[in-house]
Structure 1
Amino acid sequence: MKKIIYMAVLIFIACSSAMGQSGRTITGTVSDNAGPIPGVSIFEKDQNTNGTNSDNRGNFKLTLNSSSEILVFKLVGYLTQEISLKGKTKINVVLEDDVKGLEEVVVLGFGQKASKLTNTGATSSITGTEIRQSPSASLQNSLAGRLPGFFSQQRSGQPGRDGAAFQIRGVSTYAGGSNPLIIVDDIEFTIDQVNQIDPNEVESVTILKDASTTAIYGVRGANGVLIVRTRRGESGKPLLSVRSETGIQMPTQRPKVNDGYTTLSLYRERLTNTFVDPATVAPQFFSGNNLEHYRLNDDPYNYPNVNWWDEVLKDVSLQTRINFDISGGSKIAKYFVSLGYIDQGGIFKDFSKDQGYETNYFYNRYNFRSNVDIDPTKDLHIRLDLSGRFGITNEPFDKDWNNGGTTFQYLWNGELSSFSYPVYTPDGQLATSSNPSGIKPNPIANLKYSGYTRSYTNNINLVTQAKQKLDFITPGLSANALVSFASDYGFNRLLRRSGSGTNLEILAYAFNPTTKAFEPWNPNVPRMGYLIRQGGATGTSRLVNLQASLNYARNFGDHNITALALLNQTTSSSNATIPANIRGIASKLNYAYKNKYLLDISAGYNGSDKFESSKKYQLFPAGSIGWNISEEPFFKNNISFIDFMKIRASYGITGNENIGSSIYSYVKAYTYPSGRSYMFGEAPTASNGTVEPTLANTEITWEVQSDANIGLEFNMFKSKLKIEADYFYKKRKDILTTPGTLAGSFGAGVPQYNLGIVSNRGYEVNVTYRDKINSNLSFFGNANVTYAQNKVLYRNDPDYLYPWQERTGRPVGGVFQYTSTGFYQNLAELYTLPRISGTTPLNTLQLGSLKFADLNNDGVIDNYDQEYIGNNQPTYTAGLSFGFSYKGFDISTLFQGSFDYIINIQRGIIGYQRPDRQSIPYNLGRWTPFNAQDAIFPDLSGSAHNTAASSFWYKSGDYIRWKNFEMGYKLPVSFSKKLGLNNIRVYSNGYNMGLVYTALPVFIDPESAVSSSAGEYPQQRIINFGIQVGL
């Protein structure tokens, strides 16, 4: 009995001791060699749901929930530390900088990760925090200038369609697609789809650039891979965040136009140059005192002077964005849930407001995401992701009621002239031209009455993944299974006026010079047409991805091994098409000895349904090696200012199955065209014959690329300075090409063959400097530059007569045109120098017309005189960013540029060619006898000779843009706590702030000018104001 009582007492004492330990409160400070550190994550080792963060002074307070005697201190940029308490209630912790980036994680393909120390591939990444510094609604617009190797061009500012086109390390093919493979949380996305991702959901973006990182994707790895990882929950109490932004949008470039008098004066000069009497040809403008009335602007209805850009466009439009997210969890389950909304307004004035419908551009998008991680046992991990979006894109149905063009097309092309007609008649009706077939109708009538086109897009994505540790078989082994599903559905709703095709029944009034009154422009349209609603599905697409893999990671003393073996199938379908499959096996082996000597071997064996069965599969191997020189004793003992230095090299084979052909181009196809008939019988009638329009190519296959890369990384001065440099060389072969050496009498459509070869070489340099002066002040700077120059090595071109016609040896984006040598300055030149066939001096040619080089000296300017004049794709891209933070204040900015390419500037500056075209100040620099040596523009003769494609119309596209700017202030925690909040930050940021340098005329944006379309929505500058609140 005594023994029982004694044991009970001991148990009671032990339990009391444990209970005392679990309720103990620990206080202390966290600092580094510069002072206190705020924001350090502090939690119990065996119960990480019980934790806290250090405050702005580095202080913390934590009450223990268990008998744990170990606290964990964790913060990005510092080495994680585990501190033993041993009965203490107060501790002071000094964190050490993660000098070599040992804990920096590099995201790789198929969910693989590696430390920065042991990674041997070429990668670049950006955090979601940096992305959210840009107010752009499109994710890829936030990447320009921040990632070495990332080439992008934003060609439009239209709400909902403003995402930049981009490539990784430039272009390596002239026929196939050059878009990289895009993977978002293990789901394949298109460029348009990634444009719709809410930046608030993003944790990081990584681009994979060499064969050692992309070969496991096999036939889809040649163009590089962009991987987006979204945010996930962490253990701890729920953290709520609300972010609200409101901003204004305005065009980056808005053309200045001449007034009506100046435009008509230039028109009169054009007629005089061609020996035509202006008063005879256009008496409504030039007879009597008509032109003087335009100058005086004394009768705006009969002699109008309208700036249509100002009449149609607002000064600013609005953008609003709201985000809500919550994250947290326990040891068993963690979650991140996000809701987002964005509203982008259009730049047109709200003409249709009184009509009960909206014709202006706008874009609304709703995003949602739920990422859940469950650990039901210590060996099983389950991932459940559900995300989607709902988007509405609105644009005016502003096809004009006679010719079918859009308002922006007419504005950019100068087809809305200031002198043609007023905006309104004297009694307030909408006016228009008396000759709509030659002069474009009133755009305000279009925008007010014609209706709208509204596009709806719905997307849902689901990922289910299970990972089971198999340590009972061998330590470090695990099995993984993943199923992902993505579905897109779109449909349109149209509202338009009645009428046939683009001939809509819109009522407008034109001035009749005979009656001196405004009358209905079309007597057959006595009233406004009725509204018609139309619509239907625009397309559906589904993508299913299945993965099953074995993973292995284990240390054997100084030896570290990781391995992957994966089965993968992706099935995609669109509308009613037959599903297309990509199936394959991926494998990867990493070995590190003492973290000094590194080896990576990977391979993808896969194929695509696009190709015939014997050509469907291929092995794509790659390998890389690395040497952490800074881990060698001779380096450590003699070079103290370099903290980390690694050299790496890789080589491998990758493929591109996006070659521009149809899925069954290897199968014979037949048609029954008219005109290919045969006759049968005593009373013959024609019957259509069967024709094979293009021969099938059973040998068609993917493009194959050999890819070599060598890189150097080093950190200096306690990792304040980090430099990374890469040199790469790619050789792409089997590019799909139509043979140019076959005779025209071949007799059938010639199929394309895998013949072409292109090389692409270049380098990247990325330099980052970060320093923390003290606990209050820190700053950073980053500069990166990428050079990528491609060259066509072979494309089976025809036998050109002259060497300057050769496309081989030139860039993929090579431009071949006439070379302009100036202007005809005198009659001797006009009559003796070579000219385009069919032109006549003082008729189709005038003094001041363009001269072209006669390269073959045959006395005629023709196609044989067209030569390479430049590249329409930039070979250099660069970025420069810097900023600082002081106490609660922070400021950052980004500059970005592209260089070494040319742009055609003809769009919008050749209005003098037709009488109805609007002129601009640039036209005032035309050639005249008085400024013959200083002219920047041809004479105003209206000759088609001057508009011939030539080097004169191409200018350097080089530019430097102030891309982003953000400044913010985080209110003191003590103030936030008084309001019942964890934190409050107010900020302002901007996007497309301005062009620092451009060689183009000021009204042309160098990025949107790359587009071949003459009707692009102008790029937008965004100035934003926001607040973020943590609850």
Structure 2
Amino acid sequence: MNYFSFYKDGRALYCLIFLGFILAFSSSLAGTKRHFRFMPQQSQVQGTITDGSGLLPGVTIAIKNKVNSTAISDYNGQYSITASPSDTLIVSFIGFKTSYIPINGRKIVDIKLLYDTTTLQEVRVNAGYYSVKESERTGSIARITSKDIETQPVTNVLATMQGRMAGVSITQTTGVPGGGFDIKIRGQNSLRADANAPLYVIDGVPYSSDPVGHGQTTTLFPALTSPINGINPDQIESIEVLKDADATSIYGSRGANGVVLITTKKGKSGKTTFTVNASTGAGSVTKFVKLMDTAQYLSMRRQAYANDGITSYPASAYDINGKWDQNRYTDWQKELLGGTSVFTDIQGTVSGGSQNTNFLLSGNYHTETTVFPGEFLYKKGGSQFSLNHQSENQKFKIQFSTGYTIQDNDQPSSDFSTVAQTLAPNAPALYNGDGSLNWEGSTWQNPLRNLPSKFESKSYDLLANTVLSYEILPKFLIKSSFGYSDLRHSETRISPSTIYDPKLNYNSSYSTLFLNNTSRNSWIVEPQLSWETGLSAGELEILIGATFQRQSTDQLVQSGAGFPSNNLIYNLSSATTVRAVTDTETLYKYQAFFGRINYNYKERYIVNFTARRDGSSRFGPGNQFAFFGAGGAAWLFSKESFLKDVHWLSFGKLRTSYGTTGSDQIGDYKFLDTYSVSGVLYNGQTGLQPTGLYNENFAWETNRKFEAALETGFLQDRIFFTAAWYRNRSSNQLVGIPMASTTGFQSLLSNLDAEVENSGLEFTLRTVNLSQGPLQWISNLNISFSRNKLLSFPVLAGSTYSQRYRINEPLNIVLLYDYKGIDPNTGLYQFSDLNNDGKITAAGDKQVIYNLNPEYFGGFQNQLIYKGLKLDFLFQFVKQKNYNYPIGAAGQMYNQPEKLQASWQAPGDTSPYQIFTAGNNAAAVTAGSRFSESTAAISDASYIRLKNISLSYDLPLNGLKTKCRLFTQGQNLLTFTKYKDGDPEFISAGFLPPLKVITIGIQLTF
């Protein structure tokens, strides 16, 4: 009988049982010492778990074939477990392949896990009021994590998202420290440019993005000061962007422009660990405009006067009449914008806890100088604390998190960019020999005169949230979130008399001060009930909840003029004249009831319904409440039986959604008759002036969203591809209806039956190029094609918007003259007479439409890991058109791009630029002005930019508990573009473009 037949007939089983009984009996007779000879000796096995580039906390370590023998790696990636020398460890973690590691008698077992792209579909994604598996979501949600964020040397949270999310367009508006970004999620929905910002939610607390600055005190920035700067990127665990109706409808009236969910870092169970990060770096302007040097500039000026028939230069032409040095040359862009901005970052974190309670405490400090001359500094510091606790039976849970940030920004009150690009290259030296400002006999306005004219701002930002939950019955949960935010912001802008030419003999009575003090605080309470249960062959989830929110904002803007001394310029009570520019107090109240029903049948067919009924104090009686809802569905066709043998297809899902969201971003009290203090005295009394008109029909903007998408994974998800098509239509637009001048108002804010459509395609591709051996290489590509157009606008032709919008055209258009070229006889720019009335006018001929929206945009990210070395880089790309440098009529007393040397000289010339004029040729001046507003001023501003690069190395400190990582990071380092007139990303003329930044740093964990 062979082995197999012996085993099958059952006698082997009887023999084995009998043998085991004999051995056990013999062992018991031999005593305890005899027994332990047969048991392997157990000891503590410990080590560190990494992904080849960083530590992995929260990894589960178990012993094969043994129950109740598990451990969890701590925040430092370290673990400790009791095991025998012959045991095998089973190491598992979401997103990585499970590893089986034989101990082989070792005491120290360090483990490196390999990424498993298939299990990435099991990662749970934050959808706001609930979380969902990546593979089972029915909505459109883009996501980045701390691993993407920590590679970037940036201070604004929006900068971390650039080029990394399909459908999310982000543009930096200035390179000045503390400046902001413009963000659009799937296009522009509202006719009002200031009403397209998304809703920000930080740890469940809505965070208002409404500006806190004031136009008269923030001239340094192209937009008012944004509170988003107060969010510290280093403390963010993940950012999710909700885009379609299925994802955003549960936020109702606030989700029309998308929702940005920000989750901060929390503590993890394990021994207490300390992490310190320190880095320093430098930044400079990415690209300057190529301008004329002195010889080229003076040649242009002389030719301009010759063209105008003037042989004797006027007394005011200091640049060519001999008063200024004809041989002097200064590159004013390098002089005024060519400095080096120095960055310093320090951050410390302590984290740890038990299985039921964990904590995290961190602090950070950032400083940044400017590229402008002078000593200016932006400082930002803060702290964060989180505490999580659960009861022994895990039914009761409490989560508490709070963060406090302080910003202190000291900058010149005006940007030097415009003067740096227009000042004559032979203008005088900035300083005299004794170090005083040089006024060159009152022949110029020294640009450094504005250095004492400072813009200073301070912000104090507190955000706190507490979540209490209790599991009443299995999978039946009651929960409530309590949030509070408090923002205090102050600004000062001074213009001391010292900014004027001393020969004017201006004293401190000419000095002025602007003060802005803004405070905003809000609280929110959101009770919720959720229930999960099996139903038929599926799972049913039900969520209901309510929102109660209150936000108050106070703003006082004052101006003062005439001070007894410039030493008292910050003392408003010392001013001779004091005026309240703005003094407002607003109260916003919001309440809502929301719900969600989700049914997952056989993990193949999923439907999701969300609804919300909102009430807002921003609308008049009868219009304060509105209902918003959406439905989404998904089919995981890869789990169907007819595809079970298709091994190359690892994942496949079709999903679609439709629903409505709204917008109440209109400000407070817009439907009421409102008044403000006029600031004008009448008989010694300050009067009131009307600022708003009553409109009882004021109602919500509504956005209807539709989407269809395909998600597919191939070869065990080594190749993962998604494609989505969407169409959003926003109606009931809140705009200003023009009013007759006799009413005293230019417009009445009201709903207009205008409709805006945004549609587009979004594609993402993730590939695992290498995953075997010590080298790993993962790539991510996203690209978005978006279209925006105005579908309808009643009586557009007769409104004040007639020269701004066109039906079936995008909102972001510009109306231009049609450029025909240069008249070879006169040397003047020529334009088409579109209405054939024999003359060129703006109303009749400035009608050529150009779309300034990007044609497509995206990003291409790569991550390469080799042992302890990690390289991560991102290329951002945009296909777009934009304005050229605004040149106007060349030949007057300001510098021009070098390319304008190719100007018309004599009859018959076919030069690309018209005749020079010093300003005396009215026809040439007019033509030059029109040229800047014509099709000739549009150029290809497409670019590919190395947006971010990060290189890090983990020092192999074997045997030491301290971990050390060295890293270097770069931002905006390299740009490929045909655009010749500055930075192609930057669209705000006259303001400092983004900086290229390089930093080096060290991270210590112990």
Does TM, normalized by the shorter one, top 0.5?
yes
| 1:427/1:708 CA distance change after superposition, 3 Å | closer
* Equivalent-residue separation in structure 2 for 1:945 and 1:711 (angstroms): 50
Residue 584 of structure 1 contacts residue 605 of structure 1 at CA under 8 Å; is this kept in 2? yes
SS of the residue 1:538 aligns to = strand
1:321 & 1:454 partners in 2: Cα distance? 21
Secondary structure at the counterpart of residue 122 of structure 2:
coil
Task: Name the amino acid aligned to 2:538.
Answer: H
2:617 equivalent in structure 1: 609
Q: Which of the numbers 886, 896, 921 marks the counterpart of 2:898?
A: 921
Code of the aligned partner of 1:371: S
Equivalent residue for 1:588? 596
Superposed displacement of residue 424, structure 1: 3.2
Structure 1 residues 750 and 540 mapped into 2: Cα distance closer, same or farther (>3 Å)? closer
Distance 2:517 2:687 in 1: 34
| Aligned pairs (5 A) from 1:542-691 | 542-556=521-535, 558-575=537-554, 577-637=585-645, 639-658=646-665, 660=666, 662-669=667-674
Question: AA paired with 1:125?
Answer: R
CA distance in 1, matches of 2:499, 2:918: 36
Counterpart Cα distance in 1 of 2:315 and 2:333 = 28
Q: Give CA deviations for 1:867-889 in whole Å, capped at 9, x if unaligned.
A: 13312232421111123111111
Q: 1:381 aligns with which of 389, 397, 400?
A: 397
Q: Which of 735, 752, 755 matches 2:753?
A: 755
- Match of 1:330? 354
Is 1:407 aligned with 2:416?
A: yes
Task: Give distance in 1, aligned partners of 2:832 and 2:450.
Answer: 45
1:165 aligns with 2:182: yes
Residue of structure 2 in register with 1:860 after alignment: 839
Distance 1:367 1:558 in 2: 50
The equivalences for 1:217-256 within 5 A come to: 217-256=251-290
Number of the residue aligned with 1:109: 128
Q: How far did 1:918 drift? A: 2.5
**Any idea what SS the aligned residue of 2:296 has?**
helix
What SS does the corresponding residue of 2:753 show, helix, strand or coil?
A: strand
CA distance in structure 1 between the aligned counterparts of 2:640 and 2:337, rounded to whole angstroms:
65
Counterpart selection for 1:366 from 381, 387, 400: 381
Name whichever of 701-710 and 795-804 sits farther off.
795-804
Q: 1:55 to 1:572 in 2, by over 3 A?
A: closer
Matches for 1:952-1031 after TM superposition, within 5 Å: 952-974=936-958, 977-978=959-960, 980-981=961-962, 983-997=963-977, 999-1002=978-981, 1004-1008=982-986, 1010-1011=987-988, 1014=990, 1016-1031=991-1006
Contact persistence 1:700–1:754 (CA under 8 A): no
**What pairs up with 1:884-903 in 2 under 5 angstroms?**
884-903=864-883
Alignment of 1:944 onto 2:930? no
How many Å apart are 1:63 and its aligned residue? Answer: 2.3
What percent of counterpart residues are identical?
23
Q: Is this contact kept in 1: 2:360–2:386, CA < 8 A?
A: yes
Structure 2 contact 720–766 (Cα < 8 Å) conserved: yes
Distance 2:813 2:311 in 1: 44
SS of 1:254's partner is coil
Q: How does 1:720-735 map to 2 (within 5 A)?
A: 720-735=718-733
CA contact (8 A) 2:277 2:1002 kept: yes
Equivalent position amino acid for 1:317 in 2: S
Name the CA distance, whole Å, in 2 between partners of 1:93 and 1:134.
Answer: 25
Match of 1:340 among 364, 367, 372: 364
Distance 1:626 1:549, change over 3 A: same
Other structure's SS at 1:615 match:
coil
Instruction: Report the AA paired with residue 468 of structure 1.
Output: Y
Aligned equivalents of 2:513, 2:686: Cα separation in 1? 36
Measured at CA, do residues 911 and 123 of structure 1 come closer, stay the same or move farther in structure 2, by a change above 3 Å?
Answer: same
Q: Is the 8 A contact 2:363 2:384 kept in 1?
A: yes
Contact 1:724 1:765 in 2 (8 A): yes
Deviations 1:194-238 (A, max 9, x none): 333222211111100100011111111111101111111111112
**Count, aligned residues:** 908
Structure 2 CA distance for aligned equivalents of residues 825 and 1030 of structure 1: 72
Partner secondary structure for residue 135 of structure 2: coil
d(CA) in 2 for partners of 1:902 and 1:93? Answer: 49
SS at match of 2:299: helix
Question: 2: CA distance between counterparts of 1:889 and 1:141?
Answer: 25
Post-superposition offset of 1:166: 0.5
Aligned partner of 1:157: which letter? Answer: G
CA 1:63–1:818: 2 relative to 1, 3 Å: same
1:395 aligns with 2:411: yes
Q: Could you say if the C-alpha distance between residues 693 and 188 of structure 1 is closer, same or farther in structure 2, counting changes exceeding 3 Å?
A: closer
Instruction: Report the Cα distance in structure 1 between the residues aligned to 2:359 and 2:650, rounded to whole angstroms.
Output: 38
Closer/same/farther in 2, CA of residues 13 and 193 from structure 1, 3 Å limit: farther
**1:836 counterpart residue number:** none
Residue pair 2:345, 2:365 contacting (<8 A) in 1 also: yes
Measure how far apart 1:779 and its partner are.
0.2
In the alignment, structure 2 segments of 5+ residues that lack a partner are 1-27, 210-225, 555-583, 920-924
Task: Report the counterpart of residue 781 of structure 2 in structure 1.
Answer: 783
Q: CA 1:393/1:692 → structure 2, altered by over 3 Å: closer, same or farther? A: closer
Q: Which residue of 2 aligns with 1:300?
A: none
Report the 3-state secondary structure (helix = DSSP H, G, I; strand = E; otherwise coil) of the residue aligned with 1:649.
strand
Change (3 A) 1:93 1:264: closer
Are 1:147 and 2:160 matched, yes or no?
no
| Contact 1:762–1:786 (Cα < 8 Å) also in 2 | yes
Amino acid at match of 1:370: F
Which 5+ residue runs of structure 1 have no aligned equivalent? 1-8, 298-303, 351-359, 399-405, 498-503, 509-519, 678-684, 827-846
For 1:131 and 1:222, how far apart are their aligned partners in 2? 26
Q: Is the 1:991–1:1022 contact (alpha carbons within 8 Å) kept by the matching residues of 2?
A: yes
Is 1:505 the counterpart of 2:498 in the alignment? yes
Deviates more, 1:177-186 or 1:277-286: 277-286
* 2:862 alignment partner, one of 872, 882, 888: 882
2:459 maps to: 457
Say if 1:383 and 1:284 are closer, same or farther in 2 by CA, change over 3 A: closer
Cα separation, partners in 2 of 1:129 and 1:22, compared to 1, 3 Å: farther
SS of residue matched to 2:732: strand
Per-residue deviation, 1:852: 1.0
> Is 1:521 paired with 2:530?
no
Letter aligned with residue 775 of structure 2:
L
Deviates more, 1:814-823 or 1:189-198: 189-198
Contact 1:30–1:54 at 8 Å: present in 2 too?
no
Structure 1 residues 206 and 938: alpha-carbon distance in aligned structure 2, compared to 1, 3 A threshold: farther
Change (3 A) 1:435 1:543: same
How far the C-alpha of 1:60 sits from its partner, in A, is 8.0
| C-alpha separation in 2, matches of 1:263 and 1:872 | 32
Distance 2:427 2:112 in 1: 78
Q: 1:421 aligns with which of 404, 428, 441?
A: 428
- The answer to whether residue 446 in structure 2 is matched with residue 442 in structure 1 is yes
Identify the match of residue 699 of structure 1 among 697, 700, 706.
697
- Check 1:52–1:109 CA distance in 2 against 1; reply closer, same or farther (3 A cut): closer
Q: Amino acid of the residue matched to residue 401 of structure 2? A: D
- 1:769 alignment partner, SS class: strand
The one-letter code matched in structure 2 to 1:619 is F
Give the alignment of 1:735-814 within 5 angstroms. Answer: 735-739=733-737, 751=748, 752-799=750-797, 807-814=806-813
Instruction: Give the counterpart letter for 1:877 in structure 2.
Output: F
User: Residue 789 of structure 2: SS of its match in structure 1?
Assistant: strand
Alignment partner of 2:448: what SS?
A: helix
How far apart in 2 are the matches of 1:557 and 1:325? 48
